[in-house]
Structure 1
């Protein structure tokens, strides 16, 4: 083999090695997306969108990461995050119980001044005017979901776990439960609810109004990585330069200011 050919193959090998090194420098981050319109959406063909997708893509612009999205029902997403099968999930309410199983990033990017409301069949004749009226009623709750402390900690109520919001409303319409609890802002946007004739499902008068904070959460395993620290730093930067506020504005969410870094 001539010297020219040897140089050619050597250069080609170096080029391939450089390309391989560049490709492997991008670490894969697996992001869960559950269907909670308008903040998280999964189309019929599996395409994902929503605030968490927009935020992670913005973070990707300045970090060497490759994003992989996994569409799953809320309870399944949560379980996979707890089992380190996923790296990132968005829109989670921070609770002491959850902090044992995952790590929350600050600030919360979702701040909803909304209510936890109870839905019933219109033909049920139910009238829930206060908390005590919930006693003795079968209430569908999404598995793993957090609501308000009094409700979540109340062992006297009859709570029936549903795999998803779609499943919860199906249970209601089939009279397997008498009530469904949900965040009003997201439930009213959910396609499963809007596809039902409005006369079939009604909101009860009783509601629990609160400011609901939705965080990005990391699996415990991923949270121990240097990349997780960089994602947190990048999120802080997006708050301080106003970019995070721009991203969530399209979802009718309020501005995320530096004050929110303490949440």
Structure 2
């Protein structure tokens, strides 16, 4: 696995509240400032090492300034700061995430990570965000229902929740069997999948609701989504048995909801399709 990025971001998270009140945009307030300043970490403090896909907007991606940014990165930065943890962000090959977690290269997966169907492989935080698996098509494609996908080229990201749903006998495999080639096609990341859709190389992209909303907000006249394939939730995934850190993340996210920080972050990322209506960690 080629290591793409490693950022120590703990110190920068301390100024996130001020940045939010100043009405900051989707730039990497929590991570890029720290990278620029070269802020030192506390050697005696625990480190939250977040594995993420850096091409997964709006949860984690490379911003226009060349730095990591995203809704989940802002969440992780705040959680680390409030627990006096160091924070490292590791952009990883998504299909290597399990090996990296088991090796200790990362100690959590926090990047729009679906928990349903994976409960036996990870120790999860409490779910924090509702999500759905949906299919996005071009508005002028003539595809209006899932049934219209018969014989069409449908693409999704490798090792994604959408792929799991479309390969699951109890999920939507019967639907995927009707696609061109009798299955869904895969690609390394969703950005390239949507480039394929825009160019006409494929007819549809199966993806998370948040990814669909992000792409549609960027090009509202081009894309539309069909009815959901499935409903699910995002949570932070830790190595099996790491309950202490998972519980601390859950507790801190609840505190952030109670004090209004989550509402501020959802507003910050609203133009990217994030909404407080999908936040579920309220109890």
Task: Report the TM-score when normalising by structure 2.
Answer: 0.62
What do the CA deviations read for 1:81-100 (whole angstroms, capped 9, x no partner)? 4765422213222212x222
* Aligned-partner Cα distance in 2 for 1:68–1:32: 9
CA shift, 1:202, in A, is: 4.6
Match of 2:207 in 1: 182
Gaps of 5+ in 2: 1-40
* Aligned-partner Cα distance in 1 for 2:78–2:227: 36
1:139 pairs with 2:154: yes
Q: Which has the higher contact order (CA 8 A, sep 6+)?
A: 1
- Show the 5 A alignment for 1:182-201: 182-183=207-208, 185-187=210-212, 189-190=214-215, 194=218
How many residues are treated as equivalent by the alignment? 227
The 3 A distance-change label for structure 1 pair 147 and 236 is same
Larger radius of gyration: 1
* Aligned-partner Cα distance in 2 for 1:160–1:29: 34
Task: Report the TM-score when normalising by structure 1.
Answer: 0.66
Match of 1:239 in 2: 257
- Show the 5 A alignment for 1:134-173: 134-147=149-162, 151-153=166-168, 154=173, 156=177, 157=179, 158-172=183-197
1:260 pairs with 2:276: no
What do the CA deviations read for 1:161-210 (whole angstroms, capped 9, x no partner)? 1110123234446665432223454245359x95x9x88x6547x43287
Of 217, 221, 224, 2:242 maps to: 224
* Aligned-partner Cα distance in 1 for 2:103–2:201: 31
CA shift, 1:121, in A, is: 9.5
1:67 pairs with 2:82: no
Q: Let me know the Cα RMSD of the aligned residues.
A: 3.8
Moved more, 227-236 or 145-154: 145-154
The 3 A distance-change label for structure 1 pair 74 and 251 is farther
* Aligned-partner Cα distance in 2 for 1:82–1:99: 16
Gaps of 5+ in 1: 1-21
* Aligned-partner Cα distance in 2 for 1:255–1:131: 25
* Aligned-partner Cα distance in 2 for 1:48–1:59: 17
Higher strand share goes to which structure?
A: 1
What do the CA deviations read for 1:29-48 (whole angstroms, capped 9, x no partner)? 21133333333231366511
Match of 1:95 in 2: 116
* Aligned-partner Cα distance in 2 for 1:63–1:202: 41
Moved more, 209-218 or 232-241: 209-218
